[in-house]
Amino acid sequence: MVQGTASSVGKSILVTALCRILRQDGYKVAPFKAQNMALNSFVTKEGGEIGRAQAVQAEAAGIEPSFHMNPILLKPQADATSQVVVLGKVNGVSDAVQYYRHNLNLLKVIKASLQKLRNEYEVVVIEGAGSPAEINLMDKEIVNMRIAKIAGAPVLLVGDIDRGGVFASIVGTMQLLPINARNLIKGFVINKFRGDVTLLKPALEFLEKRYARPVLGVIPYIRDIKIAQEDSVYLDERLETNHPGRMDIAIIRLPHISNYDDFDPLAEYCNVRYVKNTGELGTPDLIVLPGTKSTIPDLKQLRRNGLASAIIRQSRAGTPVIGICGGHQMLGRRIYDPHGVESEMVEAEGLGLLDMEIVFQRRKTTRQIFATVTAGTGLLQGMNGISVRGYEIHMGKSKGVNETACFHIFSSQNGSCSYNDGAIDKRGAVFGTHIHGLFHNYDFTRRLLKNLGNLRNVPYSEGSPLVKDAIYDRLAEIVRTSLDMKKVYEIVFGGVHGRKSIQRAG
């Protein structure tokens, strides 16, 4: 199990790397996180929703993601509540007090999912959440030390040195943990280090002497790894691309932005910026409204900070606009939420850039899909008939659409189907869709950006598709060379060095 001294110390990335390393060394390995709080999510082939990080970790392990890898998913909403997803399906909405009153009842579900993975795989790499030393939550938590005890899993404790105070955070964590929990921690990892590692030697020796546990390694600060993250904190650390002559894409950073890894491939071809206000917007070649878990509240915020007016003004002046999922819903005339599924606000005026309305349903759509492009003008010029794949996660349904559909969806994980999705205006300069993962379709994105370049009279910079296997291999190489993998394997196998990995780890 990998736990951290705080949120965003790099647990997800380290689990991803370990899943890849174990796979490279010949093990059948799977990731697991009992409870995840994240807006970045993914739909499995079972039609279940899980945290995006667990989907990435499964991909690194070379296996199909399953909702058993993240049996409990909490999706924060604008009104201090969270949508509670259990085994991939919505199980209600709860505030923190209500949730912690009953969350121990979910242990039965968590244990069953963990046992299923243990039956099917040789190694399960478990990820914790936040810090195990939150003393106000120790008797209620179902994701850190309680899970380590249930699994009998040795724990690696990770600290983020880039934030400062890493040794205080490790010592503080150890001191706050009860003895039985502290004994589960078998080693320390220092993450996100920049500089000469020899300067850390006295502090590393202090930790090892004080707690009689090894510091398993110091992992460097890894930039531009291009792996989907689960926390929007990642956007604060992300380096903006700024290559002269490239097209400029402004992605609106909504307060409850979700699935922002949708746009990672665009950075291979364009300068991509995440903007929060009108001062940052500038005059981009393309404006993108991303997904959100709180469509109406986030739309209200766009109106308050002036971005809504700026987007409308630039669109009318000819700047293309694309909306994905919640962003697509914002582009219409009006949004209705009669059942209060996302917030207490029952309706809102949309941006009016597409002639349609959205009504939120009680039931969430979660499915992987295959589709073809059905429009062929403007941004989608000459693209009619191109195939794409992706996934849907939404509760809003279009009605009164007086625009051309963008896509025809012909297949899902349940088999053949037939329905239209999305809308594009008559100019072909504004379109929206519920399909996540759209830009990960290389041919679609390449053609779309060529059309954008023609519309904006900006040269199109040919890029190359993201090769995920190469990215995971690079991450695994960095982590493998930074950690004492022989000791890691000894910890994993209870003091016996890994059977299949003696050559690699040694």
- Is pLDDT of 251 > 50? yes
Q: Which residues contact 114 (CB under 8 A, 6 or more apart)?
A: 32, 34, 68, 124, 126, 147, 150, 151
User: What mean pLDDT is reported for the chain?
Assistant: 91
Whole-number pLDDT of residue 316 = 96
Encode pLDDT of 300-319 as tens digits. Answer: 999 999 999 999 999 999 99
Per-residue pLDDT averaged across 395-411, rounded?
90
> Where does the chain hold its CATH 3.40.50.880 domain(s)?
233-456
Nearest to 33 by CA among 89, 118, 113, 104: 113
pLDDT higher than threshold 60 for residue 505: no
pTM as predicted: 0.88
Catalytic residues, by residue number, are: 325, 436
For CATH 3.40.50.300, the residue range(s) in the chain are 2-34+107-226+470-505
Place of tokens 């206000």: 277
CB 315 within 8 A of CB 430: yes
Model confidence at 236, pLDDT cuts 50, 70, 90, reads low
Task: Select from 234, 220, 221, 218 the least CA-distant residue to 167.
Answer: 218
**427 backbone dihedrals φ, ψ, rounded to 5°:** -75, -20
Model pLDDT for residues 418-435, shown as the tens digit of each residue: 999 999 999 999 999 999
Whether 241 has a pLDDT exceeding 90, the answer reads no
How many CB atoms are closer than 10 A to CB 384? 12
Distance CA 400, CA 416 (A): 25
* Crossing angle between the packed helical segments 11-24 and 52-61, to the nearest 10 degrees: 20
Q: Are 15 and 31 in contact (CB under 8 A)?
A: yes
CATH topology assigned to domain 233-456:
Rossmann fold (3.40.50)
pLDDT tens sequence across 445-500: 999 999 999 999 888 777 666 788 899 999 999 999 999 999 999 999 876 554 45
pLDDT in tens, 142-179: 999 999 999 999 999 999 999 889 999 999 999 999 99
DSSP symbol at 73 = E
Strand ranges across the sheet with 430-433: 271-275, 248-252, 286-289, 321-324, 430-433, 423-424
462 exposure class (CB count in 10 Å sphere: 0-12, 13-18, 19+): exposed
The CATH T-level fold of domain 2-34+107-226+470-505 is Rossmann fold (3.40.50)
**Contact call for residues 253 and 326 (beta carbons, < 8 A):** no
pLDDT(370) > 60 = yes
Q: Which helix (H) or strand (E) holds 315?
A: helix 307-316
Residue 188 has pLDDT above 80, yes or no: yes
Q: Looking at per-residue confidence, does 182 or 238 come out higher?
A: 182
CA–centroid distance for 112 within its chain = 25
Q: What is the pLDDT of residue 495?
A: 61
Share of the chain above pLDDT 90, in %: 77
Most confident residue range from 340-354, 397-411, 441-455: 441-455
Q: What is the pLDDT of residue 504?
A: 47
List the beta bridge partners of residue 123.
29
pLDDT confidence bin for 239, thresholds 50/70/90: low
Measured CA to CA in angstroms, residue 237 lies from 5, 177, 232, 373 at distances of 19, 30, 9, 35
CA distances from 437 to 27, 331, 354, 442, 472 (A): 29, 19, 22, 11, 19
| pLDDT at residue 503, as a whole number | 47
Alpha helices for 239-304 (secondary structure H):
278-281, 295-304
More confident residue, 184 or 398: 184
CA end-to-end distance (rounded Å), the chain: 22
**Rounded mean pLDDT, 373-390:** 95
